[in-house]
Each structure stands twice: as C-alpha cells, then as structure tokens.
C-alpha cells in the first residue's frame, strides 16, 4: 500500500489544479440568472480577470485544507469552489461545494453564493 503524501508532495501534485475552467453552466445553481443577463459589463469582466489571475497564489493548498476553483468555459461570472474541511474542526475531512455567481453590478455589489 501507499503512504500519505508529505505536505510538499501534496502541494506539488495539487497546486496546478487549484484553478481551472470547466463546463459548469449546465448544472450551476445560478445558471438561469446568468442566462437572463442582457449584457456582460466590462467592469465586471476586468475585475474577474484580475481575480482569476491572482487566485493560484492566494488559494490555500495544504493536506489539512485546500480550496479549488472552477469558472465556466463560456461565462466567467459563474464559479464553483470546493473547500476541503480543516483538520480538528467539525468540518475535518469533508468536501464542501459552493456555486458562486458574480452579478452584473459586481464589484460594486457582492457575489451570490449557495
């Protein structure tokens, strides 16, 4: 049998998987709101592009807890995050998925999260 990876091995294996794009529109909880948008505001798009660019260096990547983010291939206003529960908490070893929608008024207004 194999042994648990060291912290360094885990980070080497997983760091490249923290942020990526994927086809999530078909089953995203906010897909209908996104489809009903009449425009894609440039201010929101510029802000999301900046945030997506910085995510790989900001997201935690540890054996005890990590955050993985996917944004939709065709509409970057839809994100999905997977958070692995931190050790020694009630969430230890759990995986928690959140659908995130950045509405047209973003960044002046907050994202919506379920």
Number of separate helices (H) and strands (E) present in the chain: 3, 5
Residue 59 falls within a domain, yes or no? yes
Q: Could you give the number of structural domains in the chain? A: 1
Task: Judge if pTM exceeds 0.85.
Answer: yes
What beta strand segments (E) does 1-114 contain? 19-22, 67-72, 78-84, 95-101, 112-113
Inside any domain, residue 1: no
What does the pLDDT look like over 25-55, one tens digit per residue? 999 999 999 999 999 999 999 999 999 999 9
CATH number of the domain encompassing residue 94? 3.10.110.10
In a domain, 96, yes or no: yes
- Per-residue pLDDT of 56-111, as tens digits, reads 999 999 999 999 999 999 999 999 999 999 889 999 999 999 999 999 999 999 99
75 lies in which domain range?
7-113
Q: Which of 11, 13, 23 is nearest to 60 (CA)?
A: 11
């Amino acid at each position: 049998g194999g042994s648990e990876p060291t912290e360094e091995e885990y980070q080497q294996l997983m760091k490249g998987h923290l942020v990526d794009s994927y086809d999530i529109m078909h089953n995203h909880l906010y897909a209908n709101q996104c489809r009903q948008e009449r425009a894609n505001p440039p201010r929101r798009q510029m802000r999301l592009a900046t945030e997506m660019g910085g995510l790989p260096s900001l997201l935690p990547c540890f054996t005890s807890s990590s955050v993985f983010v996917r944004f939709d291939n065709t509409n970057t206003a839809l994100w999905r995050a997977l958070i692995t529960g931190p050790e020694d908490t009630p969430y230890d070893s759990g995986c928690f998925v959140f659908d995130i929608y950045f509405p047209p008024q973003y960044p002046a207004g907050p994202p919506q999260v379920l």
